[in-house]
Amino acid sequence: MVSEHAAAQVLVASNRGPVTYSLEENGELTAKRGGGGLVSGLSAIGDSAGDSLWVCAALGDGDREAVRRGVGEPGVRMLDIDPQVHADAYNGIANSVLWFVHHMLYQTPLEPAFGPEFRAQWASYETYNRAFAEALAESAAGGAAVLVQDYHLALVPGMLRELRPDLRIGHFSHTPWAPVDYFRMLPDDVAEQLLRGILGADRAAFLTGRWADAFTECCVAVIGGTSGTRIGVHGLGADADFLRERAGRDDVEERLVALREQVGTGRRVIVRVDRTELSKNIVRGLLAYRELLASRPEWRERVVHVAFAYPSRQDLAVYREYTASVQKLADEINSEYGVEGWTPVVLHVKDDFARSLAAYRLADVALVNPIRDGMNLVAKEVPVVSDEGCVLVLSREAGAYEELGDDALVVNPYDVSGTASALHEALTMPVEERAERTKRLAAAATALPPAQWFLDQLRALQD
């Protein structure tokens, strides 16, 4: 079968594409274009839409209707995969198994328990990956470069290699990679299938050397080695030009004024901006702040914790419960310590990028304490736009630690008391030291901006 999208020289595959469609009440479709490193990278490849193709899944009713009507953007191929197959593959396997394994999130006395339901969902994950592999095989020119993204599509490289041995295939993991003992919780055949899937690529790349090493160790332990696949590391950086320009716009200025009013005059500000994702460790961060107020009463009425916790994956019960826990703990701290004119925790749960940038600018301290994180761009973004310089309190389990650890205050994410001490140290750091650290953090954070990050992978694959 020859595809209408045939003969692309560079292809990207990801679950979410660069555009989403909404179906309006009057039946019209409205397109919204996304941003990020892949979008920047693809635009940097060349002017001709025929040279590149982005293959992605139709994620909602609007996307599926666009596919059915033949509506689309040049250079984008959206796959209308059966909604139940997609749900099983995306929520059942990618987000409820693979994400949990790589972020080490299981409560192991009770979970996981891989039985018939898992096997049915795994079959959907295979079907979903096969749909991508077949679309890429149809659409790629001879010898084309294909960059497959993330844990959703771990089987695609191996499947695509069988269909099109002429292609140059890369796979990039945006998550951590689990250590061997944790990875081997997966059924043996599934663990092997995942590794061999990624090893179908000419090159498998990761955000840090630590995750690349963990993958290699899993390959050695489970299947005896990496089968000739090259392993690479590309530490995604912040886009300094975009962030600084965007942070200076009027809507950010307005939100900055509003935040300053909420905080009050003369107070220090500890900022966190996260999705309410289990791995982000928001609850322990709030516990550390509560301990700071309890053990260092001099900070009462002198500091405010601005916490933006944007709900994530609310279709999964465990995420709804976690979001509720964050809200409950913030309320408890405010009830215990708050007085008229001072609210210790300012919590916002409605996603607002302009307000996030305003908080970045306002931060005296940025708290980034994930249990485990592939990179964590918040840690890289805050130093870039901070108005007065800020101290970064950073978990050693974030991928960003590899690049930013020397100039951050590093914490064990499970150590609530240690994190409270780090917050106190951050709040009392001399202004000159804070400014110098911020300068070095911003330089490290922007060393590999998104477009360059993407193009480096492409060049490494083509060389």
How far apart CA 58 and CA 63 sit, in angstroms, is 5
CB-CB contact of 37 with 29 (8 Å): no
By CB atoms closer than 10 A (0-12, 13-18, 19+), residue 286 is buried
C-alpha torsion sign, points 149, 150, 153, 158: positive
Mean of the per-residue pLDDT values of the chain: 93
For the residues 87-106, what does the mean pLDDT come to?
Answer: 96
Model confidence, pTM: 0.93
Q: What is the pLDDT of residue 1?
A: 34
Cβ atoms within 10 Å, residue 1 = 6
The token duo for 348 is: 């916002």
User: Starting at the edge strand that comes first in sequence, how are the strands of the sheet with 140-149 ordered?
Assistant: 76-79, 52-57, 8-13, 140-149, 168-173, 203-206, 230-233
Torsion of CA 17, 274, 178, 172, to 10 degrees: 30
Token pair for residue 159? 């499947």
Q: Residue 100 is inside which H or E element, if any?
A: helix 99-102
Q: How far apart are CA 203 and CA 54, in angstroms?
A: 19
Of 25-39, 203-217, 236-250, 408-422, the one with minimum mean pLDDT is: 25-39
Instruction: Write out the E strands in 83-194.
Output: 140-149, 168-173
Longest dimension (CA), the chain: 72
pLDDT tens figures, 286-304: 999 999 999 999 999 999 9
Query: How many C-beta atoms surround the C-beta of residue 162 within 10 A?
Result: 10
Taking 70 as the threshold, does the pLDDT of residue 399 lie above it? yes
**Between 350 and 81, where is the model more confident?**
81
